[in-house]
Amino acid sequence: MDTALVVKLLVGTQVLAMGGLVTSLAFMQKEKGKIRSLQKNAMDIIGYVHGRVQDVLRMTETAEVEEEKISTREEVIVTPDDHVKVQQLLRKAEKALDEEDFEEVERICIEALALNPDDEDVNTTLAYVYRKQDKLSKAESIYVHLIEEGNQDPAIFSGLGRVLEDQNRTEMALRAYSEALKRDPHNAARHATLAQMYGKTGATREAIEAYEQALRYDSKNTEYMFALVEAYMQVDALMMATKYLDAILYNEPYNEKAKAMLLGIKEQGKI
Q: What is the CATH number of the domain that holds 202?
A: 1.25.40.10
Q: Is residue 248 part of a domain?
A: yes
Q: What is the mean pLDDT of residues 53-64?
A: 39
Torsion of CA 151, 166, 113, 67, to 10 degrees: 70
Q: How many CB atoms lie within 10 A of CB 239?
A: 11
pLDDT at 109 over 60: yes
Per-residue confidence (pLDDT) for residue 54, from 0 to 100: 46
Per-residue confidence (pLDDT) for residue 248, from 0 to 100: 98
Q: Is residue 252 part of a domain?
A: yes
Per-residue confidence (pLDDT) for residue 36, from 0 to 100: 56
- Selected residue with higher pLDDT from 78 and 174: 174
Q: Is residue 27 part of a domain?
A: no
Which of 7-11, 57-61, 206-210 has the largest mean confidence?
206-210
Quote the CA–CA distance of 83 and 87 in Å, as a whole number: 6
CA dihedral for 114, 120, 122, 126, sign (positive or negative): positive
Per-residue confidence (pLDDT) for residue 50, from 0 to 100: 42
Where residue 68 falls among pLDDT bands split at 50, 70, 90?
Answer: very low
pLDDT at 80 over 60: yes
Helices (H) and strands (E) in the chain, counts: 12, 0
pLDDT at 55 over 90: no
- Furthest C-alpha separation in the chain: 146
- Selected residue with higher pLDDT from 204 and 35: 204
Q: What is the mean pLDDT of residues 96-111?
A: 96
Listed range (40-44, 116-120, 165-169) with the worst mean pLDDT: 40-44
Which residues form the domain of 216? 186-271
Per-residue confidence (pLDDT) for residue 70, from 0 to 100: 32
Per-residue confidence (pLDDT) for residue 200, from 0 to 100: 92
Per-residue confidence (pLDDT) for residue 267, from 0 to 100: 82
Percent of the chain with pLDDT over 70: 71
Where residue 4 falls among pLDDT bands split at 50, 70, 90?
Answer: very low
What Rg, from alpha-carbon coordinates, does the chain have?
A: 41
Q: Is residue 256 part of a domain?
A: yes
Quote the CA–CA distance of 215 and 187 in Å, as a whole number: 10
Q: Is residue 43 part of a domain?
A: no
Q: Is residue 129 part of a domain?
A: no
Q: How many alpha carbons fall within 13 Å on the CB side of residue 161?
A: 20
Give the residue among 257, 251, 227 at the shortest CA–CA distance from 241: 227
Per-residue confidence (pLDDT) for residue 30, from 0 to 100: 53
Q: Is residue 20 part of a domain?
A: no
Number of structural domains in the chain: 1
Quote the CA–CA distance of 261 and 170 in Å, as a whole number: 30
Give the tens place of pLDDT for each residue, 210-264: 999 999 999 999 999 999 999 999 999 999 999 999 999 999 999 999 999 999 8
Percent of the chain with pLDDT over 90: 66
- Selected residue with higher pLDDT from 55 and 151: 151
Helix-, strand-, coil-residue percentages of the chain, each rounded to 5:
80, 0, 20
Per-residue confidence (pLDDT) for residue 37, from 0 to 100: 52
Per-residue confidence (pLDDT) for residue 45, from 0 to 100: 38
Q: Is residue 106 part of a domain?
A: no
Give the residue among 198, 201, 202, 200 at the shortest CA–CA distance from 213: 198
Which of 16-25, 41-50, 251-260 has the largest mean confidence?
251-260
